[in-house]
Amino acid sequence: MLKLLTYFVNGLIYIVLSPYYLAKYALHLLKTIIVFIGGEIITLFNFLNGKKFRNIDELSLKLETCLRQEALQKQTIQMQTIPQQNFTNGQINQQMSYPPNQFNHPYYQQPNPTQYPPQQPQYPNYNQQTNEIPKQEDKL
């Protein structure tokens, strides 16, 4: 009921103000016609000079450059951020680079130089055929 009353009051206000709105709209329509004529003149001059009138301005180009730079910076930061992984079993706490291979694998164990014949590197659960990384839960 209160909503209906609000609509009623608003309706009365709109009826009273309608001449103002109509006059304003008519003025804006006139302005639109002027904008159209101006735009056509600019288009014509640009066409005669072999250019094209585009919907681009200096500031929007600057904004585009800024956004591109920001996106590039974000991408660079993401590339530089290397996940730190703590492993309890292999005493390995090394930075893993991308893409993973058998030498930068977190479970890779350095061969003991004092042992002869040299011990082969150990790759627990490491599938060399598929180059698949074992999950930490599997190791544990």
Partner 1 sequence: MSIFLIQLSESDKKKIAIIAIILATVIVLIGIIGELIKKRSEREGEYIDGYMYGMIRFNLITNVDKFKSYVKQREERSLYFDTRWKFRTIIILTILFFLYFYNFRNFDFTGMYNALDSLTFELYWPTERFFGLTLISDWPIVKKTPNPVLNLDGYVTYTYILLVFISFVLILDRLFIHNARIKRAKYVAHKALAPNLENLNQPRQV
Contacts of partner 1 in 103-122 (CB under 8 A): none
CB of 79 to partner 1, least distance (A): 23
What character string, x for contact with partner 1 (CB under 8 A) and - otherwise, covers 16-45? ---------x--xx--xx-xx-xxx--x--
- 72 belongs to the binding site for partner 1 (CB under 8 A): no
60 is a site residue for partner 1 (CB under 8 A): yes
Size of the site for partner 1 (CB under 8 A): 29
**Binding of residue 47 to partner 1 (CB under 8 A):** no
The letter for the amino acid at 8 is F
Question: Of 22, 63, 72, 82, which lies in the binding site for partner 1, with binding defined by CB under 8 A?
Answer: 63
Q: Which is nearer to partner 1, 10 or 88 (CB)?
A: 10
What is the C-alpha radius of gyration for the chain, rounded to an integer number of angstroms? 35
φ and ψ at residue 132, rounded to 5 degrees: -90, 140
Check binding of 59 to partner 1 (CB under 8 A): yes
Length of the chain, please?
140
Task: Give the DSSP per-residue string, the chain.
Answer: -HHHHHHHHHHHHHHHHHHHHHHHHHHHHHHHHHHHHHHHHHHHHHHHTT----S--HHHHHHHHHHHHHHHHHHHHHHH---B---SSS----BPPSS--SSS-TT--PPPTTSSSPPPPP-TT-BTTTTBPPPHHHH-
Give the footprint of partner 1 on this chain (CB under 8 A): 4, 6-12, 14-15, 25, 28-29, 32-33, 35-36, 38-40, 43, 55, 57, 59-60, 62-63, 66-67
